[in-house]
Structures are given as C-alpha cells and as structure tokens.
C-alpha cells in the first residue's frame, strides 16, 4: 500500500493512488458471499473519485466542472462509508481501512472546498 500520509498536490495522481490502494486493500478481504457486494461498492466508489476528477479536468463548462467535482465529493464520502462497513464487518482489516478512510476524508475535504468555491463564484 502506498503511504497515504505522504501529501501529494497532483489530484489526478493522488486519486489514482487512492483507487489502487483500495483495490489492493480489498484483495485481503475473504471472498465470502457476504462481503462481495461491499467490496464491489467500495471499489466502485474509490475508483469513481479519480475518474470523475479527470472528467472535471476536461469539463465543457464551469457548470459541468462543478457538477463533476460534486460527484468526486459524493464518491469520496461514499468510500468512507464502505471503508467503515468493511472495518466493522471484517475487523482484521481495520488498521488498513483507517488509513484509507483518512485519505478518503482528505479527498472529500479537498473536493468540498473546490465545490464550495466554484458554487460561490457561480452566484
């Protein structure tokens, strides 16, 4: 797992690393039918953060940019939720989940800040 406490300011790279870290993290979770939908939801949310950031970066308008950033914010928050669920249902994963949760929280705060700034500019 990448050292998620190492601060990076390239959001495209940082969100890609977060996605890869989550994918690698989920490899240690047993492929028990009870966990499969949780794993799928976590991976989808975590990979969606960076994908939507890339789309925001190539947006067609300010409104489109703000919309994509809002999705980044939503998906990073959803990632936090699924990491919490994983940690509670599979306690052995809690230490790894905590670090990823902190990174998801930081990403969420970054995207919330961008979103709020853009929304205030649109007003």
Q: Provide DSSP, 63-96.
A: HHHHHHHHHHHHHHHHHHHHHHHHHHHSGGGHHH
Structural domains counted in the chain: 1
pLDDT of residue 29: 92
Segments forming the whole domain that contains residue 106? 11-122
pLDDT tens, per residue, the chain with 123 residues:
545 445 546 999 999 999 999 999 999 998 889 889 999 999 999 999 999 999 999 999 999 999 999 999 999 999 999 999 999 999 999 999 999 999 999 999 999 999 999 888 876
For the whole model, what pTM was predicted? 0.89
* Beta carbons within 10 angstroms of residue 48's beta carbon: 19
Q: Is residue 3 part of a domain?
A: no
Cβ atoms of 46 and 22 closer than 8 Å: yes
Q: Is residue 1 part of a domain?
A: no
């Amino acid at each position: 797992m990448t050292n998620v406490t190492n601060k990076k300011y390239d959001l495209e790279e940082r969100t890609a690393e977060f996605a890869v870290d989550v994918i690698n993290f989920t490899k240690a979770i047993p492929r028990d039918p009870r966990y499969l939908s949780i794993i799928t939801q976590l991976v989808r949310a975590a990979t969606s953060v960076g994908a939507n950031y890339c789309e925001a970066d190539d947006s067609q308008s300010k409104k489109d940019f703000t919309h994509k950033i809002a999705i980044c914010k939503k998906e990073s928050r959803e990632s936090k939720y699924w990491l919490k669920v994983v940690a509670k249902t599979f306690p052995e994963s809690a230490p790894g989940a905590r670090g990823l949760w902190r990174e998801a929280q930081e990403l969420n705060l970054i995207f919330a800040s961008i979103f709020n700034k853009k929304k205030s500019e649109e007003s």
